[in-house]
Amino acid sequence: MRACAALCLLAVLSCPLASAADAPPPLVFYRYVDSHGVTVLDRQGVPPEYVGKGYEVLNAQGRVVQTVPPAPSADEIRKQQAASARAAADAQLLHLYPSLDELDRARSHRLAEVDGLVALANGNLQTLQGQQNTFEAQAAELQRNGHAVPQQLLDQIKGLQAQQADVKARIVNYQAIRQQVDQQFAQDRARVQTLLGD
Is 2 among the domain residues?
no
Helices (H) and strands (E) in the chain, counts: 5, 4
| pTM of the predicted protein model | 0.61
User: In sequence order, what are the residues at sequence separation of 6 or more whose Cβ sits closer than 8 angstroms to the Cβ of residue 161?
Assistant: 132
Mean pLDDT calculated for residue range 125-140: 96
Contacts (Cβ under 8 Å, ≥6 apart) of 33: 39, 40, 50, 53
What percent of the chain shows pLDDT beyond 90? 75
Residue 69 lies in a domain: yes
Same domain, 175 and 128: yes
- Beta strands 39-42 and 28-33 are antiparallel
Q: Are 125 and 59 within one domain? A: no
Average pLDDT for 56-75? 91
> Is the distance from CB of 157 to CB of 135 less than 8 angstroms?
yes
Alpha-carbon span 112 to 119, nearest angstrom: 10
Give domain status of residue 176, yes or no.
yes
Residues 118 and 190 in one domain: yes
Name the average pLDDT for the chain. Answer: 88
Both 175 and 105 in one domain: the answer is yes
Calpha distance 35→13 (Å, rounded): 54
Amino acid at 118: V
Q: Give the model's pLDDT for residue 21.
A: 53
> To the nearest 10°, the Cα dihedral for 105, 110, 111, 114?
160
Residue 17, in any domain of the structure: no
For 83-124, the pLDDT digits (tens) are 999 999 999 999 999 999 999 999 999 999 999 999 999 999
112 and 42 in one domain? no
Q: Are residues 69 and 97 in the same domain?
A: no
| 143 and 174 fall within a common domain | yes
- The number of residues in the chain equals 198
Domain boundary among 14, 42, 73: 73
Q: Which residues pair with 41 in a beta bridge?
A: 31
Same-domain status, 51 and 113: no
| Local confidence band at 151 (pLDDT 50, 70, 90 cut-offs) | very high
- Domain check: are 141 and 55 in the same one? no
What is the number of structural domains in the chain? 2
The answer on 145 and 57 residing in a single domain is: no
- Pair 112, 63 in one domain: no
Residues 138 and 192 in one domain: yes
**Is 67:56 a contact under the CB 8 Å cutoff?**
yes
Domain residues for 131?
A: 93-196
d(CA 62, CA 44): 16
Position 9 pLDDT exceeds 90: no
